[in-house]
Chains A and B, each alone.
Chain A
Amino acid sequence: MSAAELAHKCLYYMSLMREVEDRIERKLYRQGKIVGGVYVGRGQEAIPVGTALAAEPDDVLFPSHRDMAVFLIRGVTPGRILAQYMGRAGGVTGGRDANMHMGDLSLNIVSIISALAATVPVAAGAALALRYQGRNGVVFSYFGEGSTSRGDWHEGVNFATVQKLPVVFICNNNQYAYSTPLSLQMACANVADRGPAYNMPAEIVDGNDVLAVYEATRRAAAHARAGSGPYLLECKTFRMTGHSAHDAAHYVPKDLFEDWGKLDPITRFEARMLAEGWGGQAEIDELRATVHREVDEGVAWAEQSPYPDPATLLDGVYEAQ
């Protein structure tokens, strides 16, 4: 893949994720077409895009609730994602679960659960299985810095490092766990500081620079794929929203939003594309138009998808006999 091709993909998927999430949070949710909780990854798009574009098809991904682009990159359409948020039968879980709580083993994507750190030991187990089966895949385990306060995060990381399993731990450090700032979450300065305690290489990455994330992921995955054990990437970023759509984030100092707004991964990358000559303004404009059209089509597709039939309520608790 040429630098220009990679750049085009990076911008396309970041823009697509931004547009799908904007429709979800700012339109469909406010119109009452999406109920319950809505969590988006605005400002963090470079992390799922940079990591998932660096993944091989055999790699098994555990995206968090702020990593929608992982699904887009693996081929899940905006329509199915929007139907998922709208609780429709055409959604990835057919209305069984909400938002990013979805997975598809045929795409090598495992669904997270709400208590996100619980996925870390499961990711370790998936990596154990890949090695057991002689497969060359690596597991990408995504979480926020908030998860690293949990006991099961430490249990999973410890087990993975003891067993030297092929896992890349990908932390989006967006600096808030719901309303709790870093200073009340951990006594060390960086999540990466936790790496040495597990004899695990840990790297701090500019999480708003998609190519930096991509390159770091390639390094980390190569390390894990070579049998050298887990690798921790701490992608520094900022949550440009509240915890969820109902949360106006009054507790976040305004200047933080302003400062990080200047580092928006999409506007930054557009400038870089132009500067590097990977694309012209006309191409960027066309990409934006394409993204808009695809999301329009996705919304239309999701809105025509029926709600799940209540008669199916009892199905699928166990394997059908």
Chain B
Amino acid sequence: MSTTYLEAIREGLWEEMERDANVFLIGEDIGEYGGAFKVTAGFFERFGARRVVDTPISESAIVGAAIGAALMGLRPVAEMQFADFISCGFDQIVNFAAKCRYRWNAGVPMVVRAPSGGGVHGGPFHSQNPEMWFVRIPGLKVVAPATAYDAKGLIKSAIRDNDPVLFFEHKALYRRIKEDLPTGEYTVPIGKAKVVREGTDVTIVTYGAMLWVALEAAATLAEEDASVEVVDLRTLLPLDRETVCESVKKTSKVLLLHEDTRTGGLAGELAASITESVFEYLDAPIVRVTAPDTPIPYSPPLEDAFLPNAEKVVEKARWLFRY
């Protein structure tokens, strides 16, 4: 039976709560209501108010309480109702959680789930991709799964990790993608990218919902005899530069794709890493396809213009292929 991306996250959470009595959930409307997106539907009935903690609208309190509980030996999974609201808990994440181990050798085994991303007509405050606010904070780990398989495997790894992990789950994928998952127990390692499609002419490096855009573009270009390799980063911090550079060595041309805005986006860091490590292998300039440097707009024609899509990727990749 196929499992959606949302169900995969739910299964991962459920299995970890069954496995480890120290795992608990904390967030807004996650109890009886089951969460804004119903990721935690049924958890309150199974695990009760002790392990499914409904909070006031208080992101700083949610993250702070998760940190305090983690320091005492629990494994909290905090939910931001939308990733956009994570800014309200920013200080707790970047100044408290991220620095505890380095400062005084105290691990913070906390997960913050953050439903992110556009394509759902959510407007400027329900569609953002705030991952890069955190990717530059040493001490945090940041994951952004693109498939149901990885979503389940990574949420389980995140819960078991002894450092704070931000889990960016893409809202547009929740019910849009599904696949058959293994019946047995599995996890996906944090910090490992994956070559999702093999190719020889151009590499597309991406993550999150843009994986599906990259695969669509690769299929189109295959009809033009361009062989595209697609690398899904899966984890953004720590970044698996090796897998990216190995792919670039093979294809010598690289397109960096993300839904996040352009300036300060991950593509810049990837481009610098590629030129530092495998410059001699490059046969063409590094190309970026990203959202423009604007807030994410609401109205469908504006949002469509904002978001990268297969058409935009094909155009740039074709140019790269012919370069």
Residues of chain A touching chain B, judged by Cβ–Cβ distance below 8 Å, are 60, 92-93, 96-97, 101-105, 110-111, 113-115, 118-130, 132-133, 139, 151-152, 155-156, 158-159, 162-163, 316-319
Nearest-CB distance from A305 to chain B (Å)?
17
- For A110, A114, A128, the residue with the greatest tally of chain B CB atoms inside 10 Å of its CB is A128
Given contacts A96-B103, A104-B104, A105-B106, contact A118 B68 (CB under 8 A): no
- B247 at the A interface (CB under 8 A): no
The listed residue (A97, A118, A139, A317) touching B64 by CB distance below 8 A is A118
- B52-60, B120-128, B143-151, B167-175 - interface stretch: B52-60
Given contacts A121-B65, A122-B92, contact A162 B103 (CB under 8 A): no
**Residue in B closest to A123 when the chains form the complex, CB atoms:** B68
- B61 at the A interface (CB under 8 A): yes
State the total of A-B contacts with C-beta under 8 angstroms. 135
Tell me which residues from 35 to 80 in chain B have a Cβ below 8 Å from any Cβ of chain A: 50, 53, 55-56, 58, 60-61, 63-74, 76
Residues of chain B touching chain A, judged by Cβ–Cβ distance below 8 Å, are 24, 50, 53, 55-56, 58, 60-61, 63-74, 76, 91-92, 95-96, 99-107, 138-139, 141, 162-163, 238
Given contacts A133-B73, A151-B60, A158-B61, contact A125 B68 (CB under 8 A): yes
Given contacts A128-B65, A152-B64, contact A317 B102 (CB under 8 A): yes
CA distance A93 to B101 in the complex (A): 10
Contacts of A151 in B (CB 8 A): 60
Check A113–B104 contact: CB distance below 8 A: no
The listed residue (B55, B68, B162) touching A129 by CB distance below 8 A is B68
CA distance A101 to B53 in the complex (A): 30
Given contacts A317-B138, A318-B163, contact A122 B64 (CB under 8 A): yes
CA distance A314 to B162 in the complex (A): 18
Given contacts A128-B53, A132-B50, contact A122 B105 (CB under 8 A): no
The listed residue (B60, B76, B101, B104) touching A317 by CB distance below 8 A is B101
Check A125–B102 contact: CB distance below 8 A: no
Check B56–A316 contact: CB distance below 8 A: no
Contacts of B162 in A (CB 8 A): 319
Contacts of A152 in B (CB 8 A): 60-61, 64, 91-92
CA distance A37 to B61 in the complex (A): 29
The listed residue (A122, A126, A129) touching B96 by CB distance below 8 A is A122
Contacts of B105 in A (CB 8 A): 316
The listed residue (B53, B67, B107) touching A122 by CB distance below 8 A is B67
Check A93–B68 contact: CB distance below 8 A: no
Nearest-CB distance from B89 to chain A (Å)?
9
**Residue in B closest to A101 when the chains form the complex, CB atoms:** B103
Nearest-CB distance from B265 to chain A (Å)?
23
Nearest-CB distance from A136 to chain B (Å)?
14
Nearest-CB distance from A35 to chain B (Å)?
17
CA distance A118 to B70 in the complex (A): 15
Check B104–A111 contact: CB distance below 8 A: yes
Given contacts A118-B96, A158-B56, contact A124 B65 (CB under 8 A): yes
Nearest-CB distance from B127 to chain A (Å)?
25
What would be 21 A-B contacts, judged by CB atoms less than 8 Å apart?
A102-B103, A110-B71, A111-B100, A111-B104, A115-B91, A115-B95, A118-B91, A120-B64, A121-B63, A125-B69, A125-B70, A126-B68, A126-B71, A128-B53, A128-B65, A129-B68, A152-B91, A159-B55, A162-B56, A318-B101, A318-B141
Contacts of B101 in A (CB 8 A): 316-319
Nearest-CB distance from B8 to chain A (Å)?
26
Check B71–A122 contact: CB distance below 8 A: yes
CA distance A289 to B248 in the complex (A): 71
Contacts of B100 in A (CB 8 A): 111
Check A132–B64 contact: CB distance below 8 A: no
- For B66, B68, B105, B141, the residue with the greatest tally of chain A CB atoms inside 10 Å of its CB is B68
Nearest-CB distance from B52 to chain A (Å)?
12
Check B103–A124 contact: CB distance below 8 A: no
Contacts of B163 in A (CB 8 A): 318-319
Nearest-CB distance from A106 to chain B (Å)?
10
CA distance A294 to B69 in the complex (A): 36
Contacts of A122 in B (CB 8 A): 64-65, 67-68, 71, 92, 96
Check A133–B72 contact: CB distance below 8 A: yes
- For B60, B61, B67, B73, the residue with the greatest tally of chain A CB atoms inside 10 Å of its CB is B61
Nearest-CB distance from A139 to chain B (Å)?
8
Check B95–A318 contact: CB distance below 8 A: no
Nearest-CB distance from B143 to chain A (Å)?
14
Nearest-CB distance from B236 to chain A (Å)?
15
**Residue in B closest to A159 when the chains form the complex, CB atoms:** B61
CA distance A132 to B70 in the complex (A): 12
- For A125, A139, A162, A319, the residue with the greatest tally of chain B CB atoms inside 10 Å of its CB is A125
Nearest-CB distance from B16 to chain A (Å)?
16
The listed residue (A119, A124, A129) touching B73 by CB distance below 8 A is A129
Check B64–A128 contact: CB distance below 8 A: no
Check B50–A318 contact: CB distance below 8 A: no
Nearest-CB distance from B93 to chain A (Å)?
10
CA distance A119 to B64 in the complex (A): 7
Contacts of A92 in B (CB 8 A): 104
Check B103–A97 contact: CB distance below 8 A: yes
Nearest-CB distance from B151 to chain A (Å)?
22
**Residue in B closest to A97 when the chains form the complex, CB atoms:** B103
Contacts of B139 in A (CB 8 A): 317-318
Contacts of A111 in B (CB 8 A): 100, 103-104, 106
